[in-house]
Amino acid sequence: MLNKLSRLLNEAGISLSDHQKNQLVGYVDMLHKWNKAYNLTSVRDPNEMLVRHILDSIVVAPSLKGERFIDVGTGPGLPGIPLSIVRPDAHFTLLDSLGKRVRFLRQVQHELNLDNITPVQSRVEAFPAEPPFDGVISRAFASLTDMVNWCHHLPGAEGRFYALKGQLPEDEIAQLPEGFSVESVVELRVPQLEGERHLVIITPNKI
């Protein structure tokens, strides 16, 4: 699996240390093992997880600005855990409302010795941003409108929303509420993944 990950990283033009690669493979091993009992992801094949979960998460790393991020509706830690491994200089709060997912995240934190993540069980609307975050990240979480409405209290003055999407959600972009605008859309290239992938970066308008 380490060899396959190395090939995928080469294809994506991403350079990581052996330690980071081992952490990513360790995370996939845990996800595969826990998935049998906890049903954390519909992806069953670890090799497929490397593409659809690991690479699909870390390709957004170059676009993230800041050091404090919150991954809302993180599920089994996607994209937060892969990003925390490739961005050890940044801190990631991993938010999910389901206890079994948060228990899994705490076990990952323990086994992989990740000191730059904080798993939290909470609904996003009820979670206080003290202090506010540089970035609010979501993957397969909600529509853009729901994301900014539910998470509007989380980013700081210079903070951004980062929404990982498949096809470019032109309808959702058109329906963004007042007070929010799209700063940029990044077309993502994920080796061996079929279909389009986009990162929509949204900023709250300065009043």
- 185 in a known ligand binding site: no
- 123 in a known ligand binding site: no
- 86 in a known ligand binding site: no
- 78 in a known ligand binding site: yes
Q: Are 87 and 135 in contact (CB under 8 A)?
A: no
Distance between CA atoms of residues 51 and 55, nearest Å: 5
- 178 in a known ligand binding site: no
**Half-sphere exposure of residue 106: CA atoms within 13 angstroms, side-chain side:** 9
Q: Is 17 helix (H, G, I), strand (E, B) or coil?
A: coil
The amino acid occupying position 85 is: I
Distance between CA atoms of residues 137 and 160, nearest Å: 9
Phi, psi of 56 (to 5 degrees): -65, -25
All residues at 6 or more sequence positions from 39 whose CB lies less than 8 Å from its CB, including other chains: none
In the DSSP assignment, the letter for residue 93 is E
Point out the annotated binding site for S-adenosyl-L-methionine: 73, 78, 124-125, 139
Point out the annotated binding site: 73, 78, 124-125, 139
